[in-house]
Amino acid sequence: MATPLSADRLLKALRDEGLHVIEHRSWRDNSRNHKGPWGPTHGVMIHHTVTSGTASSVELCYNGHSALPGPLCHGVIAKNGTVHLVGNGRANHAGLGDDDVLRAVIAERDLPADNEASTDGNRHFYGFEAVNLGDGKDPWPDAQLLAIERAAAAVCRAHGWDQRSVIGHLEWQPGKIDPRGFTMDSMRSRIGKRLGDKPKPPAAAKPKPKPKPSYEPFPGAAFFRVGRNSPVVTAMGRRLVAEGCGRYSVGPGPRWSEADRQSYAAWQRKLGYTGDDADGIPGKSSWDRLKVPNV
């Protein structure tokens, strides 16, 4: 039983354990605390995402979906071992589970079989989603398994728990199968061995290179038509405003409008285009020079 870690303490615990951690968007303020209490915390729960691809999996876990609002966990563990923090507080990951299992986790003893769903797990467990299809065929790279081990150990170390405070979703809620592809007994064994060691911070001497900026590729002139509604249009409009070419009374917004066309025409003229080449419909050359950030 413990007071939940603050965002700063969670981040430090993970990095002190040797993990590469990325803070995703406004993860520190992303929670479901308005739907119920967060804490006291008792353990760590491991899941698989049933998705592929890091970027899309991280966005899904950050935002959730129509049937289950995000965040869907606290951290997403990519196949390369990177941990993407997406939530801080109550998260929609555990659902209702077995109160006998919760009591065993609190007492740090062997788990009973989960045979009922009566207790709110979102209140009491940190959740880590590991990117995997969960079909029994999608591989679990060594780097990802090591990151799961380190992430769970980091939280346990911060709270003074042992490896029996780490469970899989399949051990909590009847009918769940995650994580599929390794056993939780084997993972707890790894975590137990790690908790016998002092935390190993990442190699500090080598600063990580700054990632190169990533920009939206040119979507084609046909993309820019009446009725188009896309965050790409908003990002474009913000860049036009930054370049002093904004012609907006309100906005910019996601729906392509005459104000967008006029603003883009101003950008084309700024680049030296005239006549039909400055009609306000983006072309690849002018688009590439605008450098619209990825959305």
- Whether the per-residue pLDDT at 210 is higher than 90: the answer is no
Q: Would you say residue 76 has pLDDT above 70? A: yes
Is residue 5 scored above 90 in pLDDT? yes
Question: How far apart are alpha carbons 181 and 97 in whole angstroms?
Answer: 22
pLDDT of residue 201: 53
Q: Which phi and psi angles does 47 have, rounded to 5°?
A: -135, 170
Q: In the chain, what percentage of residues exceed pLDDT 70?
A: 96
pLDDT given at position 247: 92
Least confident of 66-75, 199-208, 260-269: 199-208
Contacts of 72 (CB under 8 A, 6+ apart): 60, 61, 64, 86, 87, 91, 92, 93, 127, 129
Residue 199 confidence (pLDDT) above 60: no
The pLDDT-based confidence of 1 (bands split at 50, 70, 90) is: low
Q: Which residue has the tokens 């590469």?
A: 20
For the entire predicted model, the pTM comes to: 0.67
Beta bridge partners of residue 48, listed in sequence order: 130
Segment among 24-28, 74-78, 133-137, 193-197 with least mean pLDDT: 193-197
What does each C-alpha distance from 161 to 3, 12, 157, 246 come to in angstroms? 13, 17, 6, 55
- Quick check: 122 and 90 in contact, CB under 8 A? yes
CA dihedral (177, 179, 185, 188) positive or negative: negative
Number of alpha carbons in the 13 Å side-chain half-sphere of residue 34: 6
**What pLDDT is stored for residue 203 in this prediction?**
54
* Angle at the Cα of 14 from the Cα atoms of 8 and 19, rounded to 5 degrees: 135
Decide if 138 contacts 181 (C-beta within 8 A): yes
pLDDT digits (tens, 9 = 90+) for 213-222: 889 999 999 9
Chain center to CA of 219 = 26
Of the CA atoms within 13 Å of residue 229, those in its CB half-sphere come to 1
CA distances in angstroms from 211 to 75, 192, 208, listed in the order given: 21, 35, 9
pLDDT tens for each residue of 162-196:
999 999 999 999 999 999 999 999 999 999 999 99
pLDDT of residue 211: 80
Of 68-77, 148-157, 198-207, 242-251, the poorest mean pLDDT is in 198-207
In the predicted structure, residue 278 carries a pLDDT above the cut 80: yes
Segment 81-131, tens digit of pLDDT: 999 999 999 999 999 999 999 999 999 999 999 999 999 999 999 999 999
pLDDT at residue number 205: 62
